[in-house]
Amino acid sequence: MKLTEYIPLVLLSVLLAVLLRRHAWRSFPWFFAYAAFAVGADVARFITRNGHAYFWTYWMTEAGYALLGIAVMYEVSRRTFGNLGRWWWLRVLFPILILVSVAITLGRGTGLPVGLYNRTMVAIVFTEIAVRFLQVLIFATLVTLVPVLGLRWRQYAFGIAAGFGVYSTTALLATTRFSVFGTSYALSWGWAMIVSYSCAVLIWLSFFSATEQAAPPGKTPALSFQELKLYRKLLRRINR
């Protein structure tokens, strides 16, 4: 599995090139920073793979992934709901989802992977699990609210959320099994992470390789069915 471990690095390098061509640092600076960091982290792990520095490289980059994951999810939430000021509850949705993610993570604290003997390592893994729950919850929320708020599917924010949603769902399931079976499940866990993360990068590539679909104009979402009926009645009265 030595060569296949670096498939995500190749895909991430292509993604970073696409993001550069799209000038993504202007519209999605945190996601661009995440992609650049991911490439750099994989290269650093490759360089230190046979030395004592790998331990520190791995955990430092894991912490970086977790922090950038939160920033990217905030960016997705802000870009998706930022123009929908009419719906006040959307402004508190992101903090609520963070609290729910933390609560779920603390509730399943006994499911940590075996072999963690350092408090810093435990904190990093707890944060990673919370971020993955947050990513799943945000993706599920977007899927639920798209038809309600009249949002568009072919927007980069949805692609980012979809990629993280696929990867985080698989990662949570695989990590849960890893915590139960231990090192005997390590090979399957490794394959699950590689395949799911590669799928996530492919999703990001498919979205950013195409032109983004324009967001609904104005600061309000698409009209509801009841509003459409009201406007139709008003138009009929005017035409009489």
Which residue bears the tokens 């945190």?
30
Model pTM score: 0.81
Q: What is the pLDDT of residues 182-201, one digit of tens each?
A: 454 455 667 888 999 999 99
The gap between the terminal CA atoms of the chain, to the nearest Å, is 74
b (16+ CB within 10 A) / e for 40-75: ebbebbeeeeeeeeeeebbeebbbbbbebbbebbbb
Amino acid letter for position 64:
G
What was the pLDDT predicted at 67? 96
Check if the beta carbon of residue 8 is closer than 8 Å to that of residue 42: yes
Sequential DSSP letters for 31-45:
HHHHHHHHHHHHHHH
Q: Given this model, what pLDDT does residue 185 score?
A: 46
One-letter amino acid at 117 equals Y
Domains of the chain (ranges plus CATH)?
A: 4-215 (1.20.1070)
* Inter-residue contact 135 to 74 (CB < 8 Å): no
pLDDT of the chain, 240 residues: tens digit per residue? 466 778 999 999 999 999 999 999 999 999 999 999 999 999 999 999 888 899 899 999 999 999 999 999 999 998 887 665 566 666 788 999 999 999 998 887 545 554 556 778 888 888 999 999 999 999 998 888 776 666 666 789 999 999 999 999 988 887 766 554 445 445 566 788 899 999 999 999 999 998 876 655 444 444 444 544 554 554 454 345
- Which runs of consecutive H residues, i.e. helices, occur in the chain? 7-21, 24-27, 29-47, 53-81, 93-107, 119-149, 156-181, 186-208, 225-239
Q: What is the pLDDT of residue 150?
A: 62
